Amino acid sequence: MTPTPPHLDLRPVPQQALDRAAEHPRDVAYVFCDPTGAWAPVSWGALGAQVRAAARGLLALGVAPGERVCVLSDNRPEWLIAAHAAMCVGAAPAGVYATSAPGEARYVIEHAEARVLVLDTAERWARLRPALAGLASLEVVVGLWLEGAGEGAGEGAGEGAGEGGAPRLLSWAALSALGEGARGRALLDDALAARLAALKGSDPATYIYTSGTTGPPKAACLSHNNLSWTAQAAIRLVGFGRGDRTLSYLPLSHIAEQMFTIHGPAAAGSTVYFARSMSHLLDDLKVSRPHMFFGVPRVWEKMHEGLSARLGALTGLKGRLVPELRRVTRIANDHHNHGRRPPLSVRLRYALAKELFGKVKAALGLDRARVCVSGSAPIRAEVLEFFSSLDLRILEVYGQSEGSGPTTFNAPGAVRYGTVGRPVPGVEVRLAEDGEVLVRGPNVFLGYLKDPAATAASFDEEGFLRSGDLGAFDDEGFLRITGRKKELIITAGGKNIAPRNIEEALLAAAPLLADVVVIGDRRPYLTALVTLSPEPLAALAAARGLPGDAAALAASAEVYEEVMGAVGRVNAALAPVEQLKRVCVLPRPLSVEGGELTPTLKLRRAVVAARYEREVEALYAPLSAPP
């Protein structure tokens, strides 16, 4: 068994946050962009007061231990405060993805039986309100767009609020003011202290609704011990501490962002910057200059595309010098990744490279970043190697919501690109006979809300969590993920094929591609649907003098020829049964808004296959027919 990190602080996360507010009240807890456009810091002392006020409000609304409080909002301070406040009163936050369609949002709120929903904008309320009609459990919507301390404030807020079973609207200020009302602040403070004292490590602390690549989402229940243990273990792995900065921009309904924005900062005393939006990410990185930055592969790949284009355009002395310095930096970081000191000849040239590439990192806002992490989906090794050559070492993490986030990690000094690292100390990881990754440890969840059958099916007879991923260990104990058990394609000839490996190989061979979806279940051969990446497509069009917009280019013979050239190179390294026989170039990239990707940017294969059913059928028409 992997040794457990010693002396971990297992106080519940909200208690850690309130204690930190009392012990270091002047430290900065979070920074947000206020309505004037200025970045405003808020102290831990102020955050503690905000959490207590919101918790008193939830108590005044009658929120009971064990209940769920739903939050549907983009990343902003109130998400953080509401999560802590719910946990303080013995309830648990349950996030609803901001990209959810109204029916999807209703499903989560109804399944959670939430009496209180924290909602961020009037536009979302207008879209969501019809879907919530007749929802018996929901009593109060706390509207973050509403102004003033009264109920039903704001345009359109009072209409129908609280009538005919409709939830009553309450502003955020009104929620916080409930603790000052007729029931008395002292009484509520006593009740809050009692709720905090009654918290047990085994109590539910948060519910993570899986984004659901197939079927309705399940609610993974994580305990206070799960969250505290995992946050502490992660902090020790990367040396993160008081005053360090992170940038919150990925969906807070996902456990990875919750670790970086809610649970980790409470344990470490770090500072969270709230990004304005994904479209402002690069600008907000330059403002926040985080010491730790977590990105999903698509974020790193977009940066990779932009930087590759700029580096490829260098001429003259820089055009000759930069490739050599990148080579030296890659060698130096390869030594660092293996826990070795580079030789003197490399160190001397690496010093020059660090100065040059420091400017590149500053332009990205990552010049202070000691730790950069990629997770939530696989990332290509060549993307990691590219950033390593620019002196940005990105550490890949692997895990799932049911494991509170990290299961294995490429920790500093122990990194192998193409793997997802070694098990987090204290977590047991082994492989089943069929190669499925099995996990057991203090990070593993309590089970799924209202779904004992799914909970039981998630564990083997020895209490190991079945991850659903297929993997293999190398000789040094680094885990490589080889596919998804449920995503295996079984061809008409009975061959089992993991599509992810083929998809990653094609993406690596063709920077022009943004998405690859291999098709072939119960089919005689494999095909693929692919989409194009805008910047490489524009570069190709300019180089070849091709006219037209992205959709026209996607249908052009020149682009198809380029794609099939990459397919041929990939096929040459594959067994005949794994080779792609035909490919269809789709007119636009896959997206969350289009429903083809989950909010955490994972592929919804069934949605893609159904949406492009006609194109798929054309791929299996007689081979003499055009694709």
Least confident residue range of 39-43, 164-168, 529-533: 164-168
Band of the pLDDT at 205, cuts 50, 70, 90?
very high
Cα separation, 378 vs 603, whole angstroms: 11
Structure tokens at 406: 């990290």
pLDDT one-digit tens code per residue, 417-444: 999 999 999 999 999 998 999 999 999 9
Band of the pLDDT at 604, cuts 50, 70, 90?
confident
Give pairs for 129-132: CB < 8 Å, separation 24+.
130/102, 131/102, 131/103, 131/105, 131/106, 132/106, 132/166, 132/167
pLDDT at res. 152: 54
Band of the pLDDT at 149, cuts 50, 70, 90?
low
How many residues make up the chain in this entry? 627
pLDDT one-digit tens code per residue, 465-509: 999 988 999 999 999 998 777 777 877 766 778 788 899 889 989
pLDDT at 18 over 70: yes
Residues with Cβ < 8 Å from 295, sequence gap 6 or more? Answer: 372, 373, 374, 394
Band of the pLDDT at 333, cuts 50, 70, 90?
very high
Closest-CA residue to 90 (of 191, 238, 169, 237): 191
Average pLDDT for the chain: 90
Question: Could you tell me what percent of the chain has a pLDDT over 90?
Answer: 68
Cα separation, 463 vs 467, whole angstroms: 12
Structure tokens at 202: 């085994």
Evaluated on CA atoms 125, 127, 128, 130, the torsion sign reads positive
- pTM value is 0.82
pLDDT at res. 156: 40
pLDDT at 614 over 50: yes
Residue 110, phi then psi, degrees to nearest 5? -70, -45
pLDDT at res. 454: 93
The answer to whether 73 touches 194, Cβ cutoff 8 Å, is no
170 vs 596, residue with greater confidence: 170
Residue 148 CA: distances (Å) to CA of 36, 49, 172, 173, 464: 18, 19, 8, 6, 50
pLDDT one-digit tens code per residue, 233-288: 999 988 889 999 999 999 999 999 999 999 999 999 999 999 999 889 999 999 99
pLDDT at res. 595: 84
Mark 415-428 as b/e (b = at least 16 C-beta within 10 Å).
Answer: bbbbbbbbbbbbbb
pLDDT one-digit tens code per residue, 21-61: 999 999 999 999 999 999 999 999 999 999 999 999 999 99
Least confident residue range of 132-136, 142-146, 209-213: 209-213
pLDDT one-digit tens code per residue, 376-396: 878 888 899 999 999 999 999
Report, as an integer, the average pLDDT of 413-418.
94
Cα separation, 75 vs 277, whole angstroms: 8
Cα separation, 163 vs 137, whole angstroms: 14
Delineate the domains of the chain, giving CATH numbers in brackets. Answer: 13-229 (3.40.50.12780), 298-392 (no CATH), 488-619 (3.30.300.30)
Closest-CA residue to 465 (of 376, 375, 401): 401
DSSP tag of 259: I
Q: Which residues pair with 293 in a beta bridge?
A: 372
Band of the pLDDT at 145, cuts 50, 70, 90?
very high
pLDDT one-digit tens code per residue, 448-462: 999 999 999 999 999
Q: Which amino acid is it at 585?
A: V
Cα separation, 272 vs 84, whole angstroms: 15
pLDDT at res. 150: 56
pLDDT at res. 177: 92
548 vs 404, residue with greater confidence: 404
pLDDT one-digit tens code per residue, 565-588: 999 999 998 878 889 999 999 998
pLDDT at res. 376: 83
